[in-house]
Structure 1
Amino acid sequence: MDLIAGIDRKLGQLAEQSLTRKLRVADSACAPRQVVDGRPMLAFCSNDYLGLAAHPQVVEALREGASRYGAGSGASHLVSGHSRAHALLEERLAGWMAPHLEQPRALYLCTGYMANLAVLTAFGADADAMIFSEALNHASLIDGARLAKAGVSVYPHGEVAALERQLADSRAATKIVVTDSVFSMDGNLAPLPELLALCERHGAWLVVDDAHGFGVLGENGRGALEHFGLRSPNLVYMGTLGKAAGVGGAFIAAHASVIELLVQRARPYIYTTAAPPALAHALQASLDIIAGPEGAERRAHLGALVAQLRDALRLRDWRLMASNTAIQPVVIGANEDALRVAAALHEQGLWVPAIRPPTVAPGTARLRVTLSAAHTFDEVARLARALNELEKTAP
């Protein structure tokens, strides 16, 4: 019982700092209008940016995939779990990224977290390598850098000049710059053109985690590289397929030799059971939508919702962060204040999460509002009214 008492003390400390997290149970499909813990809610917390998670075409493709390939893969990719569905998806994703990468090949993995671990541990497997990591990178990139044998140098958020000094001073045999494209808690974009120019000048790799850009950014929804019009053999691209694509998993796209290195050396890929082939099959339907007229319409509607929310909010003490993406954070400040506002919204049937340290810096607890193409203008107006009123009455 002494062991349990020690755990309970740690849990008590989290509660005292207003850092306790709470699981909520969704009783219905991922959508803006959900039943959560048995209660109807209007959700502004999903990363389902295009509203494809419950799209009938994608759901039917998942059913068809399960009927054709079964419920599971049965083994890791390199044993017997690599199905035709996986292979076809990887071929298509490689084709998607062909305008931006030299001799591209793609690799499908179970999650974005796993994909980032795979890239950084394989590239940083040698002690004479150096990883240059953006200060606001996602936890999966931070953990991948920690697990690698390479050294790690963190550069300040968005500070290209600081990164240039670090690259110039480094004598590492392999240099790896890694960054989010869209920062998940701030919603702003990394200066990818400037970062790529630095990497090409210093002979470094640029690993881009486009978790919140794939499907949303770019004329055809192909992500941050399309948005900025980038192309280079120095690029290693990671896109998640459980956010805007609405299903699950992630992919890495790069030069074919890079992908072969991952197949041979990336432990998170080699030593795990492959994702169910049905997911890969369903993702073909997601890509059809993203690339087609409906995808363009959904991206345009999402952009209009972002503009509406930013125009409708009239905040004095709270701070709406500078973001033109679907991620619209409202910084409250103290942990307990952010929790109080989230609870007040919840009472009104609005589901908006309070994000606190260590996910964000101390003193910057916030509401992480995320918009979806499945939201309506009336729903966004309802959220804006609620936030404006809550700030007026805040102590």
Structure 2
Amino acid sequence: MMEFPKKLTAKLTERQANNALRKLPVPNGLIDLSSNDYLGFAKNDTIFKNAASILDKKGITANGATGSRLLTGNNGLYGELEDLLSDFFGSGSALVFNSGYDANIGFFSAVPQRTDVVFYDELVHASIRDGIGLGRAQSYKFKHNAVKDLSRQIDRVRESKMDSDIYVVTESVFSMDGDSPDLEALVATCETKGAYLVIDEAHAVGVFGKKGEGLMNELQLQKKVFARIVTFGKAMGCHGAAILGSDSLKSYLVNFARSFIYTTGMPPHSLATILSACEHVSATNKEQNQLRTNIDFFKSELKAHNLESHFIPSNSAVHCCLVEGNEKVKKWSQQLQENGFDIKPIMSPTVPKGKERLRFCLHSFNTEKEISAVLLQLSNLF
């Protein structure tokens, strides 16, 4: 076997020295306060059985898609699912991708053109950054959730690029902070400046909206954006993603989004599970209401334990306690895990150095007793 490249060894050694070397975790059986399964759908027996029933009623026994959607992989469930998603989210059309990463890679590498400009919030997800990096448009970051900074930057670019299309991208709920931008101000700014607004709703779907349609729907802003990216691997408890927009956008992505064109389609069971999850969340608000109750209780317990100042303000299911330094945040995480709570450390370089944190993900199935106990344990660490 050939010797591992020395340059790669050096990078691993550097990460080890910074106490930031990643390793795959193993199931630990601890109280779940770290997964993205906000509504407990990943283990929902009704959703599982209904997905199997959908396949059975349609006589589908296939294990795989057999090819890309443009060749042999576009089975009938795709059309049914995309029609349901368009109706559920209130969009002109929907195009299903294999993952949220694939959706963002496909969109941002294909839609903004060479003469265009993309403005992105400095804390957007890596998949958005990677998609922009694969594209040919110029790109600039703006300060986190700072609409005025964005507005100034758009004005600056407009002076020299009058004919450029401008795209603005942010998240409705940030995965590593749990906070949200002023979406109404953002929409108004993009309308005034003539910019195309793109919103990643990965961590808002299932949590916000009357039936879990996301934060843009809750604010009745869904018709005022160019595109939304929604994913099904978080609160919906399954896998896959979709880009919501106009029929023209769907047609363009089918023709030019490489992460859509050059990959095998999703297996029928994955599509049936998304259908089942959407039907379930449409039929009942039980899990969503319980999650909201738990979020409110968590925030009240932060006050009770004088922990508010250590947390990034959030109304979502994600709450982050800032603990500076990789070594310290790993140690605190380990102590909480030793007391039965699965709390993951978020370390640099995933987040900026000095902004390391403990990430608390709340779920509909967490109890008030569990929430009180973990925050008591946390307060004892300060």
Q: Same fold (TM over 0.5)?
A: yes
Match for residue 325 of structure 2 among 331, 334, 337: 334
1:318–1:6 Cα change, 3 Å: farther
RMSD: 1.7
Give 3-state SS (helix, strand or coil) of 1:79's partner.
coil
Deviations for 1:94-135, whole angstroms, at most 9, x for unmatched residues?
11222xx4xx010011100110111111212x2111111111
- TM-score for the superposition, normalised by structure 1: 0.90
- TM-score for the superposition, normalised by structure 2: 0.93
Q: Does 1:60 align with 2:49?
A: yes
Match of 2:71 in 1: 79
Shift of 1:5: 4.6
Shift of 1:6: 4.1
Q: Does 1:312 align with 2:304?
A: no
For residues 1-395 of structure 1, the aligned pairs below 5 Å read 3-26=4-27, 36=28, 40-64=29-53, 68-98=60-90, 101=91, 104-124=92-112, 126-169=113-156, 170=158, 171=161, 172-232=163-223, 234-293=225-284, 296-313=285-302, 314-315=305-306, 319-391=310-382
Give 3-state SS (helix, strand or coil) of 1:92's partner.
helix
Could you tell which deviates more after superposition, 312-321 or 77-86? Answer: 312-321
In the alignment, the residues of structure 2 paired with residue 66 and residue 360 of structure 1 have an alpha-carbon distance, to the nearest angstrom, of 42
Deviations for 1:311-354, whole angstroms, at most 9, x for unmatched residues?
22324697111011100101111111100001111212211110
Give 3-state SS (helix, strand or coil) of 1:390's partner.
coil
Give 3-state SS (helix, strand or coil) of 2:42's partner.
coil
1:269–1:147 Cα change, 3 Å: same
Deviations for 1:30-70, whole angstroms, at most 9, x for unmatched residues?
xxxxxx2xxx3112110011110010111113434565242
Q: Where do 5+ consecutive residues of structure 2 fail to align?
A: none
Shift of 1:14: 1.1
1:346–1:241 Cα change, 3 Å: same
In the alignment, the residues of structure 1 paired with residue 77 and residue 67 of structure 2 have an alpha-carbon distance, to the nearest angstrom, of 15
Shift of 1:9: 3.1
Could you tell which deviates more after superposition, 190-199 or 323-332? Answer: 190-199
In the alignment, the residues of structure 1 paired with residue 308 and residue 218 of structure 2 have an alpha-carbon distance, to the nearest angstrom, of 33
1:317–1:287 Cα change, 3 Å: closer
Match of 1:31 in 2: none
In the alignment, the residues of structure 1 paired with residue 61 and residue 154 of structure 2 have an alpha-carbon distance, to the nearest angstrom, of 47
Give the aligned length. Answer: 372
Give 3-state SS (helix, strand or coil) of 2:72's partner.
helix
In the alignment, the residues of structure 2 paired with residue 227 and residue 49 of structure 1 have an alpha-carbon distance, to the nearest angstrom, of 18
In the alignment, the residues of structure 1 paired with residue 349 and residue 43 of structure 2 have an alpha-carbon distance, to the nearest angstrom, of 32
Shift of 1:2: 5.5
Deviations for 1:219-245, whole angstroms, at most 9, x for unmatched residues?
221102112111435420110011111
1:365–1:233 Cα change, 3 Å: closer
Give 3-state SS (helix, strand or coil) of 2:244's partner.
strand
* Contact in 1 for aligned 2:52/2:272 (Cα 8 Å): no
* Contact in 2 for aligned 1:65/1:279 (Cα 8 Å): no
Give 3-state SS (helix, strand or coil) of 2:207's partner.
coil
* Contact in 2 for aligned 1:217/1:223 (Cα 8 Å): yes
Match of 1:32 in 2: none
Give the percent of matched residue pairs that are identical in Structure 1 and Structure 2.
30
Q: Where do 5+ consecutive residues of structure 1 fail to align?
A: 27-35
* Contact in 2 for aligned 1:182/1:212 (Cα 8 Å): yes
* Contact in 1 for aligned 2:172/2:216 (Cα 8 Å): no
Match of 1:29 in 2: none
In the alignment, the residues of structure 1 paired with residue 276 and residue 121 of structure 2 have an alpha-carbon distance, to the nearest angstrom, of 34
1:317–1:212 Cα change, 3 Å: closer
In the alignment, the residues of structure 2 paired with residue 177 and residue 317 of structure 1 have an alpha-carbon distance, to the nearest angstrom, of 31
Given residue 274 of structure 2, which amino acid in structure 1 is its aligned partner? L
In the alignment, the residues of structure 2 paired with residue 9 and residue 148 of structure 1 have an alpha-carbon distance, to the nearest angstrom, of 30
1:315–1:285 Cα change, 3 Å: same
In the alignment, the residues of structure 1 paired with residue 143 and residue 136 of structure 2 have an alpha-carbon distance, to the nearest angstrom, of 22
